[in-house]
Structure 1
Amino acid sequence: MKHAVVAPFVHAAVSAALLAAVALLLPSCDSTPRERQEAVREGAREIDTAADKAAAVLKRAGNRAARFDSVSRQRSRQPLDDAATKAFNQELLGTSAEVEQLTAQTIEPAYTQLLRNTRDKRRTWTQRDWDYATAVFRRLNDRYRAVRLDLPARNELRIKALQAEFTALETGRDLNDLRDAVRDEPVAR
């Protein structure tokens, strides 16, 4: 995950090093050994400068990622508020909010309702809102495990697809937040 965020910075450093090497090779045909030696020194300085810049960018990105991870862990250690959990449960599941009462016939519509509401609201949710939504999703998954053996295979497949979509939406949000946290602001020149 971190490699995808950092890869553009590493690619830029490697590109700079290759350009410096090509610049060294082209004029070497018509130059003296002393001129080539100076060109090599200059190229090495350029490569060192590019490497130093890339290292600084990677260090800043690493520090930001660590800070993001620390804040995320601290947030996840905080217990969820029971009233807010009930409100999210009602908001996301509607008439299926009594999860313990769901049967093999009513659990698929509950998942469908959860995903419909998640798709509608996800762009405005904070990470804490996702914590509450995930708690609702987990309760629904617990009930699914209790009634799974009574489900027809086609319903089970639909539920698996809905579970995968919820996980993908949540993971996408986490990745966007991490990307935003480690993004390197352009340096004013």
Structure 2
Amino acid sequence: MRALIVFLSSICAYILADSGFCLDYIKCMEILESKQRHCTALEENLRLRQSTTCARRRWEIKLELNGLHMRRAEVARDCVQKNIDEAEAGEKDLDEETTARCESLSRKFFFAPGVNGPATAVKERKKRSASKKKAVNNSRKSRATDCRIETKQWHKQCAALAKCCPQTTECKSETLTIMDQINELRQKLQNVSADC
């Protein structure tokens, strides 16, 4: 049993050594982008079911915000990917404490759900009774909420991995205009919500 544990840990160490922190960050951002797209599709279905113009307006702003978040994630990922040689060279300059923390994060990320396989698809039946339709509507809201929570968790994971990739600080300047737009839309959403 002990030999098996040593063998598995050596395989994990080999796999982790093969990929750097910046590569983990890039993969995390790809997963985050995929989750954001999935959530946007779920929320689009909810928006179409809103009856009041005020509720629809809030959903439109939320969807616009989601689009900006996806764009920001894409720009950040592309910037690190474009400068991957510099990024990997920068990883070597990390101090021992940061490197140890980043290795721990990297190990946790490697075993995170969705990293090594596709996310499970949700299947729905086409024909339903009226009572089941109501239950499905409630489950749609719940799925959208769960999706948002999962996306936030991935965002936190990617933000933690970003601290291990020095290139992300240089790439932040490319996302500043998008962040300004996000902040403006957040304020607009608060104003619309207050008016309703």
Question: Shorter-chain-normalised TM-score: which range?
Answer: 0.3 to 0.5
TM-score (norm 2): 0.32
Higher RCO (C-alpha under 8 Å, 6+ residues apart): 2
TM-score (norm 1): 0.32
